[in-house]
Structure 1
Amino acid sequence: MSSPRILVVDDEAHLRELLEIALVKMGLDVDSADSLSAARSHLAQNDYALILTDMRLPDGLGIELVREVTAGEKVIPIAVITAYGSADNAVMALKAGAFDYLSKPVALDQLRLMVQSALRVGKPVETPRPVADSKLRAGAGSALRLIGQSAAMQELRTQIVRLARSMAPVAITGESGSGKELAARDIHALSPRADKPFVAVNCGAIPEALMEAEFFGYRKGAFTGAADDRDGFFQAANGGTLLLDEVADLPLAMQVKLLRAIQERRVRKVGATVEEAVDVRLVSATHQNLAECVESGRFRQDLYYRLNVIELKLPPLRERLDDIGLLVAAILGRLSAFTPQAEQVTLAPAALSALCAYAFPGNVRELENILERALAFANDGVIEVADLGLKGAGQGRPVEAPDLADHYSEAALAAGAPASLEPVVAGMPAQFNGAELPSSLPDYLDDIERDVIRQALTRTHFNRTKAADLLGISFRQLRYRMQRLSIHEQD
């Protein structure tokens, strides 16, 4: 079996020679090119496991080659070599689809780590199918954790598959409870690093005085209580993925140290005199608007650009209500593993309708809490509207509830529930009684909600506080719904 072939593109002869020697020592075959045109000629004649290109070439920029390679049909990881301190070039290359980057002068240990990671990319990952029959596997094999068949979720999973093939830092944004950590775990599980550690860190839960020691580790005797050497989060995640959850909560002093660690890919333990190389794929997550944090001076702009190379935005649950049925089935299936009575519990049609009409300010996490509470209050094995504890439930018009029976079996099994579970809802009544179904359920529901809110506002002479009380929702929920539905006082 032939060795993987690498293409090195650089107009500096001594650097090409250095890279060739290092790669040959790794048992790889190497071709060299000193210009874009020469690189294109090699690509037309050979297949490569990795391309390594300088950013500045005699007849153009390496970013052009990055765009050409990533736009092609073949899946070839391409990494760029940037001048020392040229962070903007590195970020630009990663946004264009580069697998990774190296800074001059090239450190051979970082080169080896990057090449090993690129060679693990392997064959293209299968495009995700809907969750009900999704069996995407990575490494030992695990289904995607994000559940949903809506268009928004299918697009999200497609983005995750693409992001998994890159080393570019990813910033995951979304409201609290929308599944940001699950998205990060899916990116890791589908990446070449799936067999390496995934370390999740809540940046807002670490005391500021301990942050440096927690992130970078410490040497024995570095401070009172340091009885032994200890690795930090970066060392624990070496070779894998480090999730910086709630990254906006990092104090400015720690942001400076984190920026250096990201740029140099080296960390120094507290009390140590030398730095050590780390190979970590960074994923950050926050429910805050980082751009606004930068404007207000609470977050460094240079760190923002390093972390926010690619943004992955998670939709709130209220924007994918089509997934409620599947989520309910999966959550009840998972709860049955810890609550034996959950195996016999069903959801009343009116209860599911109420869930589909609810705004879910806490997103999927709130749905989980609602169902866990409802299990404790359910009588005779049926969860009713009152058991859900939804504010204002049952006060609006009925909303057609999705049929869970079609989805329950596979969704419950994916969540770890026993195969013998009964469907959550049986015999769901039709709401239209033979009438023509709406062409767009979301638009139909929006029209109903818009009419009800306008009636409440008219009845209260546009006193929004009284209108919110009349509708059984909070003032904040009413304001959000008016903004979403474009309802104004002059209407």
Structure 2
Amino acid sequence: MSASATSPAVLIADDDEALLEVVSGWFRRWRFRPSLARNRAEVMEQVERERPQVVLLDVKLGTDDGVEILGELRARLPDLVIVLTTAFGTIDHAVRAMQMGARDYLTKPIESERLKTLLQEVVEEIGSRAGVGGLGGTEASAEAMEGRSANDLELAEAQAAQVLLGAHPIMVDLRRTIARVAASDAEVLIMGESGTGKELVARLIHQLSPHREGPYIAVNMAALPAHLAESQLFGFVKGSFTDAYRDQVGYCEAASNGTLFLDEIGEMPLEIQAKLLRFLEDRTIQRIGERTNRTVSTRVVSATHRDLAELVREGKFRQDLYYRLNVVPITVPSLRQHPQDIPDLARVFLRRQLERNPNSPVRDFTPEALRCLTEYDWPGNVRELEHVIHRLVILGRRAAISREELPPEILRHASPLTPSGGMTASTTPTTFPASTTIREATRQLLIETLRVTNGNVNEAARRLGRSRAWVYDQVRKYGIDLANL
């Protein structure tokens, strides 16, 4: 399956082959029809042939100047939406690009969610002309859907719901994405804060995949010493170094016909990143001390709580590997993004703990205790919630856990009790007039959040549930002066 001829056409103009491959995959998942160009001549040819509605244009396209190409395209096609990209973003570049008619300006490595948000805005603006109602969420690619019927997908989603709990739409979408992604062999990059359940997602992808009977091997790169990383990942032969007393199969080879989960991939040493990239490109490994290559069939799923795009900009993570791993990105939401699920999750964890501690008198929570749990930010996410429930079951002395029994860090964030015993509202939601555009609302919400956090970008990103890089991009986009909020 592929995007139909009626799908919106988009042209990706870049001389980076890895970026072309990955970003075109994103567009296909979002039901766009991508075409590719690697220089000015190809840009002009594809624009004439495909008539794209959107062009993603690199500022430096080989030996050609992307900004000059922008000017040519705007002169020929004034309504064409053009988004510039660059690995060397500056405010001056962005201002010049906007002045010449660019719709927006993205810095590399391109973040899929940032690009998707931008495209959604474009679709809303030109939807009636292009015949597009919106992007298809975070669905897996059409290619990943082949061989899996609607009934199979429903069954996979139901299986995922038994493990990945939560009725909030953001969790329903996550399970739907997992069910679709599992059917393919594409690399998956799972992103999310610590404690959100990234390894649970990786295991689900394996269990719902065609290779579920094969091995599932999880490796925490943060716990793997740098000097052992190569030998542990790729193996070695007897006598290849001092302590090599026998042949050793590496994780990549041991996971053949199954799934290799690389947790905390952002901690991988740069020299090992190059070897992993080579493995992902040709599916062969070479054990240390061996001259021949071994072909293996291993699906790689990776995860990180860090901002890999920022690490790429800092030179700590390879851009080509980032794109290779990020074929299908999945973001696991923080618990504060779906607080409505906290009461149900708390009760599920309570039941689990009572199975292990049957002599505990605890059986439920008071309404006030559940409100306090719901209001807390949970920086440790679901893992922290489970640990708190474990503690309450062990220390609890009454049938219902009360507000007073909760840990002090939770009570500090709770709304004060009213004289009637109820609780006052802790926040007032931000509202906008009906005529407010998405761009205006986004800018106002960002400014208000930055004011509340006294210009602390990290805290603003945490409260908004976005990455620090996204906040900086928006600050540049809307010309927000952090020093004068």
TM-score bracket relative to the smaller structure: 0.5 to 0.7
Match of 1:228 in 2: 246
- The structure showing larger relative contact order (alpha-carbon pairs under 8 Å, at least 6 residues apart) is 2
Match of 2:2 in 1: 66
Match of 2:175 in 1: 157
| Alignment equivalent of 1:189, drawn from 207, 213, 232 | 207
Task: Classify 1:490/1:260 alpha carbon distance in 2 versus 1 (closer, same or farther; 3 Å).
Answer: closer
How many residue pairs get aligned? The number is 328
Structure 2 residue 428 is the aligned partner of structure 1 residue 447: yes
| Alignment equivalent of 2:365, drawn from 347, 354, 360 | 347
Task: Classify 1:125/1:90 alpha carbon distance in 2 versus 1 (closer, same or farther; 3 Å).
Answer: farther
* TM value normalised by structure 2: 0.59
Task: Classify 1:304/1:207 alpha carbon distance in 2 versus 1 (closer, same or farther; 3 Å).
Answer: same
Task: Classify 1:390/1:136 alpha carbon distance in 2 versus 1 (closer, same or farther; 3 Å).
Answer: same
The Cα RMSD (Å) is 4.2
Task: Classify 1:302/1:339 alpha carbon distance in 2 versus 1 (closer, same or farther; 3 Å).
Answer: same
Structure index of larger Rg: 1
| Paired residues of 2:376 and 2:414 also in contact (CA < 8 A) | no
Task: Give the distance between the partners of 2:220 and 2:462, measured in 1 at CA.
Answer: 34
1:330-380: CA deviations, max 9, x gaps? 212222332223585322222111101101011001101111111222113
Match of 1:315 in 2: 333
| Alignment equivalent of 1:337, drawn from 350, 355, 369 | 355
Structure 2 residue 179 is the aligned partner of structure 1 residue 248: no
| Alignment equivalent of 2:227, drawn from 201, 209, 214 | 209
Task: Give the distance between the partners of 2:413 and 2:239, measured in 1 at CA.
Answer: 64
| Paired residues of 1:125 and 1:161 also in contact (CA < 8 A) | no
Match of 1:91 in 2: 22
| Alignment equivalent of 2:186, drawn from 159, 162, 168 | 168
Match of 1:271 in 2: 289
Match of 1:136 in 2: 158
| Paired residues of 1:221 and 1:228 also in contact (CA < 8 A) | yes
SS state at 1:292 partner: helix
| Paired residues of 2:368 and 2:403 also in contact (CA < 8 A) | yes
Gaps of 5+ in 1: 1-64, 72-84, 99-116, 401-428, 433-443, 451-463, 469-474
Task: Give the distance between the partners of 2:239 and 2:413, measured in 1 at CA.
Answer: 64
One-letter amino acid matched to 2:326 = N
| Alignment equivalent of 2:345, drawn from 327, 342, 352 | 327
* TM value normalised by structure 1: 0.58
| Paired residues of 1:356 and 1:399 also in contact (CA < 8 A) | no
Task: Give the distance between the partners of 1:239 and 1:126, measured in 2 at CA.
Answer: 21
Task: Classify 1:68/1:395 alpha carbon distance in 2 versus 1 (closer, same or farther; 3 Å).
Answer: closer
One-letter amino acid matched to 2:428 = D
Task: Give the distance between the partners of 1:311 and 1:250, measured in 2 at CA.
Answer: 19
Match of 2:118 in 1: none
CA drift of 1:390 comes to 3.7
Question: Where in structure 2 are the equivalents of 1:11-22 lying within 5 Å?
Answer: none
Task: Classify 1:364/1:240 alpha carbon distance in 2 versus 1 (closer, same or farther; 3 Å).
Answer: same
| Paired residues of 1:201 and 1:245 also in contact (CA < 8 A) | yes
Gaps of 5+ in 2: 8-15, 31-142, 432-449, 466-470, 472-481
| Alignment equivalent of 1:373, drawn from 379, 388, 391 | 391
One-letter amino acid matched to 1:66 = S
